[in-house]
Amino acid sequence: MVKGLYHRKLVRIFVSIATLFIVLFTILFCVLSISLINSRNAALKTSVQSQFSLARTSLSVINYTMANLIGSSATTNWANETPGTSEYYYRALKLYQELQHLTSQLDDREYEIAITSTEPDAFVVTKNGTRPKQWYFENESRISEETASQVYQFFETNKGALVLPIYDGSGKLDTITYALKASYYGHDLVFFTYIPARTLFHDPDAMPYFLLGPNGSRIYSDNDEDTARLLGGVVAAFPAGHPEDIEEFNDGGYRTYLDQMPSIGITIGFVDTRHNRNTDIWIICLIIGIPVLAVCALLLANSLTKRLYAPINEAIDTSEIPLLSFDHDGTGDNDGTPHIVPKAPVDEFAVIKNMGSRIKELTQELLEITSNQQNASTQQDYRMLLAGTIPTNTQDTDRYGIALFEVEESPADGYSYSLIALQANTNLMDGIECITLTPSLSAVIFRCAAPDSTETSPHESFMRTVQALLDSVRNEDNLKVAVSDIVVGKHNVYRAYRQAQVILDYRRIYPAAEILTKEYVSSSESEDYYYPASVEQTFVNYTLNGSQNAISLYDEIIQENAAKQLAGPTYQHFVFVLSGTFLRIFQELKSSPEDIIGTSIDWLDFYSQWNKPEALETLRAILVKIVRSVQASSSAEDDKLLEKMKGYIHSHYMYDIMLQDLAKKFNITPKYCSTLFKKLSNDTFKNYLNQYRIEQACLRIRQNPQVKISELSLEVGFNSSTSFIRVFNKYTGISPKAYADKIVAEEETTI
């Protein structure tokens, strides 16, 4: 084989390429590793901030409710009465009604509040009613009476609040008990607030977390030793003083995200246990990968050198090429062939060119992914601005405006084509961002810098932009646009959004107007009646549910418009719109007036007498009949459901059935099943099941007084004789053996 200068040059080239490839791989690996780690940390931080936002919002709502409840006159009056007096019971009922009012707002957050005093014979007031303290902690409370006693003892020497955990069967944090003592003239009251973990966190299992409450109380996401040791170490490593500006810190290989809520004295922390672990994995991969890659590259370089040089060696005519070098012993190769210079080089640059093209494609893909992530982040930021939950820079002097585009009827096959076109058009415009809120509603956010004195005002520019957008997407969809005033700074975007929402409520009052502004609405407000869309929807919901609140709300609407002294045409329009609501209610109930109120309604005759006082009274009488009919229908269905539930218990009492089994049978949640069973039967599932089991046990003892207690307990569904004897004694007042002896004695007396 010929080995000359070109061969040595080829070896040097491939070794250089291999070295360069390893360096590039190392750099690319490091860049990608850092990018992936940062992306992961950023995504994790966004997720944690979302968790914090939900927790902060939920705790603010609960704290607001607690503050109103503590300062309520109903609470003060009850605390100042002596237990056992008639006035005490009356005040307890008033407090129960106040608690029902404050905790029944239209909010989807789940929590419960129980109020009691430190007196042993005091009541416990919950949204379910007033309960004796002992009965409440045995049958309804999420904490035991012993735990409650410890809370009372704690508050004897301490002030403020106390936070206690409740874990489920798997050791996960299920509920947080927030106990707060309030002092009054008569007695001190203790407020127990039960907050499920899912109310605070939409994904409580994402990573370990802890809550630090007042008076040094701690709650961990799990009650196992490993989690307690991990979170305890993190808490112990807190910086001195717990400064409020600390959002995250690293200690012991873990990154901890903090959110402090000083209004209620709670600090929440999420611990990322995989932060340093992921970094170590990348470093280990790099340390192992580089030597392996180097060996592979050298072997590949050697192999490529031989493969590429073989055709050159075959093409060389050694008789015409002068000898340039020999082996050190002057004998040439093993076959005596001398080393000569190759005739032509090999074109190895095509490989490099192909590699460069591939790197360019990967870089372009990476840029596109980064751009998509930035767009998604911008959309999320603007959504948070509309919700008023994102921190903003108070030095922001840009001008902002909100325009709400709504389609009257959302198409059944998905999003409106008009709103899709609106999204596409705004993507091509600078200073405009379109946020899709619902399939039939989008928000357009207009932004511009502070104008010079010679420039067009931001409001004029905004209105021209809104008109242009409306013209570009107008088709068969019935679009309505509500435009807010121009505000300064991001911190006022939420106010502009709320203003646009209020203006949009007037869309049905002014059906001919496509663009509604504050000026347009204000100019006609003195001639308008009071019946916004939100109030109409609430009235419809109350009526469909058979709630007495529908009648009260109807009276409020009539009184509000009576005070306005509406003019003739306006009053006629109001009566017609109100009667239209009743037609909508009949449609929602999928029934006719004959089926619901027992008679037909001549709407043409009603419309001809719209100006008579009896018209509104007629509508009220119809409303009363509708509410009663819905209530009666609901009561009949409830009775059927209760009989089915009892039938399931009667046929399965001998098994180890639980509330979850009954809920699964009727395809409802255990909590709703418990509430529904108690509402329909005026008894709890557990009490009814145990009482029926004891009745069956008594029947079996009467049939066979010599039956063994251990066998009898299993036959009626108890897992142990001890539990059976305790429950039997609770419901009959005597033990099973004493009951059997009593039956035997009665039989002997009869004989």
Give the C-alpha separation, 387 to 365, whole Å: 33
Give the C-alpha separation, 546 to 629, whole Å: 8
Work out the angle between the directed axes of helices 533-544 and 549-564 (0-180°, nearest 10): 150
Q: What is the pLDDT of residue 351?
A: 39
For the chain, give percent helix, strand, coil, nearest 5: 60, 15, 30
CATH fold for domain 42-277: Beta-Lactamase (3.30.450)
Out of 65-79, 305-319, 451-465, 585-599, pick the least confident: 305-319
Out of 119-133, 502-516, 601-615, 658-672, pick the least confident: 502-516
Q: What is the pLDDT of residue 734?
A: 92
Element (H, E) at 610: none
Out of 35-49, 525-539, 550-564, pick the least confident: 525-539
CB 95 within 8 A of CB 103: no
Average pLDDT value for residue range 309-334 = 49
Give the C-alpha separation, 739 to 734, whole Å: 7
**Hey, what are 443's tokens?**
């928000």
Average pLDDT value for residue range 469-489 = 83
Q: What is the pLDDT of residue 525?
A: 46
Q: What is the pLDDT of residue 252?
A: 57
Q: What is the pLDDT of residue 413?
A: 58
Q: What is the pLDDT of residue 170?
A: 85
Ramachandran category for residue 253: left, alpha or beta (phi over 0 → left; psi -120 to 50 → alpha): left
The yes-or-no verdict on residue 142 having pLDDT over 60 is yes
Binned at pLDDT 50, 70 and 90, residue 352 comes out as very low
Ramachandran category for residue 682: left, alpha or beta (phi over 0 → left; psi -120 to 50 → alpha): left
Give the C-alpha separation, 85 to 562, whole Å: 44
Token pair 């093993």: residue: 334
The yes-or-no verdict on residue 600 having pLDDT over 50 is yes
Out of 175-179, 348-352, 380-384, pick the least confident: 348-352
**Hey, what are 569's tokens?**
């045409």
The yes-or-no verdict on residue 390 having pLDDT over 70 is no
Ramachandran category for residue 359: left, alpha or beta (phi over 0 → left; psi -120 to 50 → alpha): alpha
**Hey, what are 304's tokens?**
């490529």
Binned at pLDDT 50, 70 and 90, residue 234 comes out as confident
The yes-or-no verdict on residue 106 having pLDDT over 60 is no
pTM, two decimals, is 0.38
Give the C-alpha separation, 78 to 125, whole Å: 10
Give the C-alpha separation, 473 to 422, whole Å: 6
Mean pLDDT for the chain overall = 79
Q: What is the pLDDT of residue 110?
A: 84
Binned at pLDDT 50, 70 and 90, residue 725 comes out as very high
How open is the CA angle 741-742-746, to the nearest 5 degrees? 115
Give the C-alpha separation, 414 to 401, whole Å: 28
Q: Count CA within 13 A, CB hemisphere, residue 160.
A: 14
The yes-or-no verdict on residue 483 having pLDDT over 90 is yes
CB 78 within 8 A of CB 95: yes
Q: What is the pLDDT of residue 461?
A: 87
Binned at pLDDT 50, 70 and 90, residue 574 comes out as confident
Q: What is the pLDDT of residue 293?
A: 79
CATH architecture of 653-750: Orthogonal Bundle (1.10)
**pLDDT > 90: percent of the chain:** 7
Beta strands in 449-492 (DSSP E): 479-483, 487-488
The yes-or-no verdict on residue 505 having pLDDT over 50 is yes
CATH number of the structural domain 392-526? 3.30.70.270
Extents of the domains making up the chain:
42-277, 392-526, 533-635, 653-750
